[in-house]
Structure 1
Amino acid sequence: MTMDAENRTTLQPLSHADAFETLSGSRISMVLTDPALPDNPIVYVNGAFEEVTGYKAGMAIGRNCRFLQGENTDPDDVKRLREALRDEQDCTVDLVNYRADGSEFVNRLMMTPVRADDGALRFFLGMQKPLAEVEDLLSPNAVRHAMREVQHRVKNHLSMIISLTRMYGRDAGDARDQFGQLARRIESLQVLYQELSNPERQRNMDTVSLGAYVSRLAAATQALDGRAGVTVNVDVEDAEARSDTAVHLGMIVSEILTNALQHAFVGRETGRIDLSVRTLPGQSLRITVSDDGTGMPEGVEWPDSRSIGGSVIAGLIRQLNGTLNVNTGAMGTVVTLDLSGVTEAT
Structure 2
Amino acid sequence: MAGFSRLSLAIVITNPQVPDNPIVYVNDAFERITGYARSSVIGRNCRFLQGERTRKTDVDRIRTAVENGREVSVDILNYRASGQPFLNRLTIAPILDEQGNPLYFLGFQKELREDEDESVSNDTILDLLLGRVHGDLGLILRNIAHPDIRENLTEPMTEIEAMPRRLDCIQLVYEEMQKADRELDRAGLDLGALLSRIAANVTHHESRPGIRVVQQFEQMEVGLDDALRIALILSETLSNAFSHAFVGLDSGFVDLRVTKLAAGGLRLILSDDGVGIPAKIDWPSNNTVGGRLIASLLDGLDATINVARGAAGTVVMVDVPVHPHDLAKKGA
Question: If the TM-score is normalised by the length of the shorter chain, which range does it land in?
Answer: 0.5 to 0.7
Contact 1:288 1:334 in 2 (8 A): yes
With over 3 angstroms needed to count, the CA separation of the structure-2 counterparts of 1:161 and 1:264, relative to structure 1, is: farther
With over 3 angstroms needed to count, the CA separation of the structure-2 counterparts of 1:214 and 1:161, relative to structure 1, is: farther
Q: What is the Cα deviation at residue 168 of structure 1? A: 5.3
Contact 2:265 2:324 in 1 (8 A): yes
Contact 1:272 1:292 in 2 (8 A): yes
With over 3 angstroms needed to count, the CA separation of the structure-2 counterparts of 1:164 and 1:252, relative to structure 1, is: farther
Contact 1:206 1:243 in 2 (8 A): no
Question: Which residue is equivalent to 1:175?
Answer: 156
Q: Secondary structure of the residue that 1:303 maps to in structure 2?
A: coil
Instruction: Work out whether 1:242 is the aligned partner of 2:242.
Output: no
After superposition, residues 152-167 of structure 1 pair within 5 angstroms as: 152-154=6-8, 159-160=28-29, 164=38
Instruction: Work out whether 1:304 is the aligned partner of 2:304.
Output: no
Instruction: Work out whether 1:151 is the aligned partner of 2:5.
Output: yes
Q: Which has the larger radius of gyration?
A: 1
Q: 1:327 aligns with which of 305, 308, 313?
A: 308
Q: Counterpart amino acid of 1:332?
A: G
- The count of residues paired between Structure 1 and Structure 2 equals 196
Q: Secondary structure of the residue that 1:198 maps to in structure 2?
A: helix
Question: Which residue is equivalent to 2:172?
Answer: 191
With over 3 angstroms needed to count, the CA separation of the structure-2 counterparts of 1:201 and 1:272, relative to structure 1, is: farther
With over 3 angstroms needed to count, the CA separation of the structure-2 counterparts of 1:319 and 1:345, relative to structure 1, is: closer
- TM-score if structure 1 supplies the norm length? 0.51
Question: Which residue is equivalent to 1:228?
Answer: 209
How far apart in 2 are the matches of 1:154 and 1:212?
A: 23
Gaps of 5+ in 1: 1-146
After superposition, residues 13-162 of structure 1 pair within 5 angstroms as: 151-154=5-8, 159-160=28-29
Question: Which residue is equivalent to 1:139?
Answer: none
Q: Counterpart amino acid of 2:155?
A: D
Q: Counterpart amino acid of 1:182?
A: M
How far apart in 2 are the matches of 1:219 and 1:198?
A: 19
- Deviation string, structure 1 residues 104-134 (Cα, Å, up to 9, x no partner): xxxxxxxxxxxxxxxxxxxxxxxxxxxxxxx
With over 3 angstroms needed to count, the CA separation of the structure-2 counterparts of 1:244 and 1:200, relative to structure 1, is: closer
How far apart in 2 are the matches of 1:205 and 1:168?
A: 41
Question: Which residue is equivalent to 2:318?
Answer: 337
Question: Which residue is equivalent to 1:287?
Answer: 268
Percentage of pairs with the same residue: 32
Q: What is the Cα deviation at residue 190 of structure 1? A: 1.3
Gaps of 5+ in 2: 12-26, 32-36, 44-152, 328-332
- Deviation string, structure 1 residues 199-225 (Cα, Å, up to 9, x no partner): 895256762100100000000010111
How far apart in 2 are the matches of 1:295 and 1:332?
A: 4
Q: What is the Cα deviation at residue 173 of structure 1? A: 7.4
- TM-score if structure 2 supplies the norm length? 0.53
Question: Which residue is equivalent to 1:85?
Answer: none
Q: Secondary structure of the residue that 1:297 maps to in structure 2?
A: coil
How far apart in 2 are the matches of 1:178 and 1:187?
A: 15
How far apart in 2 are the matches of 1:272 and 1:156?
A: 37
With over 3 angstroms needed to count, the CA separation of the structure-2 counterparts of 1:337 and 1:303, relative to structure 1, is: same
Q: What is the Cα deviation at residue 196 of structure 1? A: 2.2
Contact 2:9 2:30 in 1 (8 A): no
How far apart in 2 are the matches of 1:264 and 1:213?
A: 24
With over 3 angstroms needed to count, the CA separation of the structure-2 counterparts of 1:345 and 1:328, relative to structure 1, is: same
